[in-house]
Amino acid sequence: MKTKPVTRWLTGLTLALGMAGLVPAAEVAGVKLDDTVKVGGKELKLNGAGVRTRIVVKVYVLGLYLTEKKDSTAGVLDATGPRRFTLTMLREVTGDELGQAFMAGITANTDKTERSKFVNQLAQFGEAFVNIPQAKKGDTVTVDWVPDTGTVMYFNGKQQGEAMKDIAFYNAILKIWLGEKAVDSSLKPALLGKG
């Protein structure tokens, strides 16, 4: 079967753009995710991405970035260097609702002793969500781990609050999606590059 010239041209263009780094690594539920990002002066690669679905409603797209690919929860939590996750809203929620969902996920995947080690950071993180009146479709929450700085949260590119110093706190946030009681069973393998 012969390939039509237009089809060949489009295939060639797609390959050329991909090689030039102009095509995003992934598109999930209409959200384009960058192949690589820079955090703390280091290049991070998209480890995995997926959609958080609650019952039948798509809530957000989550992308996880690491210095090198990891396919297990332990590998992600033990990773050295900077890390990032981006959360792009697919529906409108209040900052309070979003904050409560984060806190519930952390509580479900950590024990009381573990949480007692970063109680101040939990309060600070919760306060950051209070400062977000409404998260609309397309808005982004970005949370970075930067060695020697800490956990830094951004809403649509604007930093929310101060850096939170403890790596255990950042890992507690990641356990919302990667822990034993992950909030969405289909999202966990997607973030680990298996979905």
pLDDT in tens, 152-171: 999 999 999 999 999 999 99
**Domain map (residue ranges) of the chain:** 24-191
How many angstroms separate the CA atoms of 147 and 163, rounded? 11
Q: What is the DSSP string of 56-124?
A: TEEEEEEEEEESS---SHHHHHH--S-EEEEEEESS-EEHHHHHHHHHHHHHHHS-HHHHHTTHHHHHH
Secondary structure of residue 156 in the 3-state scheme: coil
Counting Cα atoms < 13 Å in the Cβ hemisphere of 167 gives 11
pTM of the prediction?
Answer: 0.85
Ranges under pLDDT 70 in the chain: 1-25, 195
Neighbours of 166 (CB within 10 A): 14
Q: What is the pLDDT of residue 15?
A: 38
Cα 35 versus chain centre, distance? 13
Distance CA 111, CA 9 (A): 57
Is-contact 156 142, C-beta < 8 A? no
How many C-beta atoms surround the C-beta of residue 149 within 10 A?
14
pLDDT at 9: 40
pLDDT (0 to 100) of residue 195? 64
Residue 108 falls in which region: left (phi positive, over 0), alpha (psi -120 to 50) or beta: alpha
Do residues 130 and 96 make contact, with C-beta atoms less than 8 angstroms apart?
Answer: yes
Q: What is the CATH number of domain 24-191?
A: 3.50.70.10
pLDDT at 25: 59
